[in-house]
Amino acid sequence: MKKIYGKTILVSAAIALIISGCSTVKKTNKAERGAVIGAAGGAVIGGVIGNNVGNKNNTVLGAVIGGVIGGVAGGIIGNKMDKQAEKIKTEIPGAEVERVGEGIIVSFPDKNPDGSKMGVYFDFNKASITSNSKLALDKLVKIFNEYPETNILVEGHTDDKGTDSYNLALSQKRADAVGDYLKNQGIASSRLSIKWYGEAQPKVENETEAGRAENRRVEFGITANEKMKAEAQKEAGNN
């Protein structure tokens, strides 16, 4: 299987080229630039991911990009996602938060660079939710409840230690454990999608322990649901 690293870097670079190279965009205000990014950036991102991954909806990044509607409505959604992303960054220091398109990607590597243990972690060869993981998940639940008009994708990933089949099963157990915890804390199952990929989607090379730790992770993709999209399109039409 072809393994892709640094997908988000490619996306960010593509959007940056669009914005820096367009004199018309340079003259717009922040809200207008957000709308342009929603429209043009979504197309570029879709091409980048499509060329590298195949079926882009099989990855958390592809799911986020697949939800892009673009235009002014996309800019409105993006502004809402900015606020939610900032809240996650502030309240969960262990989370890696990326704003992509009109959505958010939240990743919890197995070990944080600063040594913090606030995140979604699992003991070796285990899939049970630890007390430390509950701290982060409880904060996420609170934020998810503050922004109810979003869908949430939960993905489980492992490093390459062990067989493919074993890692795939382990990533499923861990993703399911996180999904079940969210549902038990009141997140509607209709908002959740659960997927798992074992070792097939590493973020970095598995050559070092630090790299393997980064690949042992749970990722969340946060996207607008149909209600948020409809409200944003209505607001865009009234402006």
Q: Taking the domains of the chain in order of start, what are their residue ranges?
A: 7-238
Give the residue from 132, 125, 107, 127 showing the smallest Cα distance to 180. 127
44 Cβ contact partners less than 8 Å away, ≥ 6 residues apart: 11, 14, 15, 18
Exposure string (b/e) for 157-173, b if CB count within 10 Å is 16 or more? bbbbeeeeeebbbbbbe
Average pLDDT, the chain: 78
* φ and ψ of 213, to 5 deg: -65, -35
- Residue 117 pLDDT: 54
**Mean per-residue pLDDT, 90-96:** 88
Least confident of 25-34, 64-73, 157-166, 191-200: 25-34
Contact (CB, 8 A) for 14 and 48: yes
Q: Token pair 């109810």 is at which residue?
A: 148
Please list the residues that pair with 56 across neighbouring strands. Answer: none
**Mean per-residue pLDDT, 152-163:** 94
Least confident of 35-39, 127-131, 177-181: 35-39
- Residue 116 pLDDT: 53
| pLDDT above 70 coverage of the chain, percent | 71
Helical packing angle, 42-53 and 7-20, nearest 10°: 150
Q: Would you say residue 160 has pLDDT above 80?
A: yes
pTM of the model: 0.74
Query: 7-238, superfamily in CATH?
Result: OmpA-like domain (3.30.1330.60)
